[in-house]
Amino acid sequence: MAAHVVAVIDDFQQKSLDTIAQCLPKDWVLRITASNSAGDVQSAMAQADIVFLMGKAVTAPMVQASQKLRFIQKLGAGVDNIDLQACKSQGVVVAKLHGGNAVPVAEHTLLMTLATLRRLPQLDRDTRAGLWVRERARTVSRQLSGKTVGIVGFGAIGRAYARLLRGFDAKVNYFDIVEAPPSLCRELNATHMDFDALLSTADIVSVHTPLTEATRHRFGAREFALMKPSAVFINCARGGIVDEVALLEALKRNVIHGAGIDVFAQEPTPQSTAFFTLDNCVVTPHTAGGTVDNFEHVVKRAIDNVQRLDQGQALPEGDRVV
């Protein structure tokens, strides 16, 4: 009998599924969904005691119908797509990978920062269309060097982003409900600030908080009005943290210079969304943490967490949620 049956319920590409299969211990069984339908997802879960997931939601009915389920491992950091109360009621342990995607997300945040400051998609599109807009670009493109970056949420990802910024001669301010150790602040040249003060002084505001009831719509019309007209807003965290109607208005009315958005409240986002029509907005499909280089590391950490539970060991600090 297999030591574990692992259900992978996201619609992964075959290359990612192959990576998972190659990493699993030989006596574990992998179950994948025949399609992305609710029925096929539930069928895969019904056979499993372990679930690995990335973006797929796990609802209370799904947990209650999975009688063998004992452990859910999120292959990332955010667990807002999992019904934690249902898991607790059913005795299902839930874990995330604290800092597991910190480096690729931080790199993507830097990518979005530069692309938004320079309005890269507009330049690319115009150049491909035969429009040589060098002088027009000179009037709107902005550089990162010498700017003040405000980081909201100074956990693993926020700190990794700050570490990358050291090469750009940028000043880093951060807001977090827990202040970072003084030694780390010195290393990253980062200063803790009040939330409103951070918004009003930053040239770039980047958010790296989880989505909770406390952070839902944390950024709305009031917050965008506090920011400089020349500032850009970057969100590689969760879409629900932002009031998207307020952000759309701020971009349309040039309340802020631009925005780089990797996450939306609804995903996949309808193609008709007005964000896609704006030249001062850079969008990507919730792909900040997704690199081929990091995925094997993520899978191995998930397997290690299962094995720790098997042996009665505590999970790494920050991983266990329920």
For the annotated catalytic residues, the residue numbers are 238, 267, 286
81 with 58: CB under 8 angstroms? Answer: yes
244 with 264: CB under 8 angstroms? Answer: yes
| 160: amino acid identity, one letter | A
Strands (E) in the chain, as ranges, are 5-8, 29-32, 50-53, 71-74, 93-95, 148-152, 171-175, 190-192, 204-207, 232-235, 258-261, 281-283
Taking alpha carbons only, the member of 76, 30, 26 closest to residue 49 is 30
Tokens of 140: 């709107």
Q: Is the peptide bond before 268 cis (omega within 30 degrees of 0)?
A: yes
Q: Which long-range contacts (CB under 8 A, 24 or more apart) does 215-223 make?
A: 215/241, 216/240, 216/241, 217/241, 217/242, 217/243, 218/152, 218/242, 219/243, 219/246, 219/247, 220/246, 221/246, 221/249, 221/250, 223/199
What one-character-per-residue DSSP string does 62-118 give? Answer: HHHT-TT--EEEESSS--TTB-HHHHHHHT-EEE--TTTTHHHHHHHHHHHHHHHHH
Tokens of 37: 């339908």
Distance CA(172)–CA(185), nearest Å, equals 9
Q: For 240, which DSSP code?
A: G
